[in-house]
Amino acid sequence: MLKKNLKFLALSMLMTTSAWADGQLSLGATYNGWNTNYQAPAQDNGYEFLVPVDISYRFAPELKLYGQGEFMAANDVGSAGTYTLSNFSDTILGAELNFKSFGLSSLCNVAFNVPTGDTSWSTKEQNSIVPTQFIDSRYSGRGFGLSAFYGVALPEGRGAYNVGVGYLYSGAFNPSYGNVTAITALKLGDAVFLAANHITPYQDDQNEIIRFSVYQSFATLENNQNYYQLGTNFNASYNWSNPKALSFEGGAQIYLPSSWSTNGGPLVTEVKNSNGPRVYATASYAFGDLSVAGVVKYIFQSDSTLNYNGGGLLAGLGPTYRFKLAEDSDIKLSGTANYINANNNGTDVNGNLTSTQYIMWTIATAYEVKL
């Protein structure tokens, strides 16, 4: 009966599609490889092969449904041994609704994190991949989560101010693997997001965007007791985009000190901030279907004596080329090489802290087609 109803619903939606009905499918293949100047027995290196799939369909001008997921096969060689993965990551299912509220253009987005990934992988991979403060993890294996975002646009001249608020509900996370800190049940902290931007369009699809946002994490719980709370995160950036020539962006990110709890006691703010401020700049230039992009990121050393406190530098460069296959489909090819210098991330033969260097390279392709 339920199946029948679902079929009927799907058919109804297809039948009611009108001039604005459209969708897009993206199927990709990505290879990541990395190496460091670590010496044995901790010869950190690894590779990942990912097959990401993104699909979206707009059933009406106001409503878009989408899904994202990926399959990843990985082999990480780290100081704690060699780990392999062959699994799907979490799946994101979401709906985006455009409507008018208070007479203003508004957007509401609701997304579910469906836990189809391997929740042990983040612990396994963390001692072999490039530190995630330089390059974020490519794999998501978390618990059930729900995020909701609501934003409104306030027209101003030819541009607009946009303001939005988001909430993340983070369900229970399965931390049974590892037990580095004897965790038996972990629930990542919920979070509130407040953001504003100002966008100004110019001729030939050029845009200027100035952004500011605050991300407030709540306490992460261990066995239903306070355990850790990431410090409030402030972000600001300036972006200029020109799809036919030079685009660039510069930004800064600051974290307030985090808080820790001992044996379920109250959260105590760390004396020395474990997350130093960070700045970044990106630029890209389009030569028709070919574009070249570069990134530089610098993380200032923090005062923390508890966690990784080194900071460091990331510099990356890579081209992208888009082959048009037909009016409604194309293939994108891209490659990136990144150099990372992580301060105080290793020890020398005398046991003193010293920097380590990583090289990470990515080769990716994606087939994109309109539905």
Q: What is the CA angle 40-80-304, rounded to 5?
A: 95
For residue 154, the one-letter residue type is L
Report 224-263 residues binding other proteins (CB under 8 A).
227-228, 230, 233, 235, 241, 243, 258, 260
Does 24 interact with other proteins (rule: CB under 8 A)? yes
Q: Please, what is the minimum distance in Å from the beta carbon of residue 229 to other proteins?
A: 9
Q: Which is nearer to other proteins, 5 or 152 (CB)?
A: 152
Closest CA to 296 of 316, 311, 275: 316
Residue 365 tokens, joined: 């392709």
Does 105 interact with other proteins (rule: CB under 8 A)? yes
Closest CA to 70 of 50, 86, 85, 46: 50
Does 365 interact with other proteins (rule: CB under 8 A)? no
d(CA 224, CA 144): 16
Q: Which residues contact 136 (CB under 8 A, 6 or more apart)?
A: none
Q: Which is nearer to other proteins, 5 or 56 (CB)?
A: 56
Instruction: Say how many CA atoms lie within 13 Å of 200 toward its Cβ.
Output: 8
Q: Please, what is the minimum distance in Å from the beta carbon of residue 137 to other proteins?
A: 5
Does 180 interact with other proteins (rule: CB under 8 A)? yes
Q: Which helix (H) or strand (E) holds 10?
A: helix 2-15
Does 55 interact with other proteins (rule: CB under 8 A)? no
Residue 60 tokens, joined: 């009406």
Please identify which residue in 296, 355, 361, 365 interacts with other proteins, judged by CB under 8 A: 355
d(CA 160, CA 154): 5
Contact code string over 282-301 relative to other proteins, x by CB under 8 A: -------x------------
d(CA 51, CA 321): 19
Q: Which is nearer to other proteins, 2 or 59 (CB)?
A: 59
Q: Please, what is the minimum distance in Å from the beta carbon of residue 44 to other proteins?
A: 7
Helix/strand/coil (H/E/C) assignment for every residue in 214-232: EEEECCEEECCEEEEECCC
What is the size of the binding site for other proteins (CB under 8 A)? 112
Q: Please, what is the minimum distance in Å from the beta carbon of residue 12 to other proteins?
A: 15
Residue 166 tokens, joined: 């988001």
Spacing of C-alpha 170 from chain mean position: 16
Does 38 interact with other proteins (rule: CB under 8 A)? yes
Among the residue ranges 45-53, 171-179, 277-285, 312-320, the one whose residues contact other proteins (CB under 8 A): 171-179
Does 2 interact with other proteins (rule: CB under 8 A)? no
CA torsion, points 314, 319, 325, 331, in degrees to nearest 10? -20
Report 185-204 residues binding other proteins (CB under 8 A).
186, 188-189, 191, 193, 195-199, 201
Closest CA to 209 of 249, 149, 154, 151: 249
DSSP code of residue 350: T
Please identify which residue in 87, 207, 282, 341 interacts with other proteins, judged by CB under 8 A: 207
Please identify which residue in 27, 211, 285, 315 interacts with other proteins, judged by CB under 8 A: 211
Report 127-166 residues binding other proteins (CB under 8 A).
127, 132-133, 136-137, 140, 142, 145, 147, 149, 151-153, 160-164, 166
Does 274 interact with other proteins (rule: CB under 8 A)? yes
d(CA 300, CA 278): 6
Does 174 interact with other proteins (rule: CB under 8 A)? no
Please identify which residue in 34, 134, 173, 358 interacts with other proteins, judged by CB under 8 A: 173
Report 84-103 residues binding other proteins (CB under 8 A).
96, 98
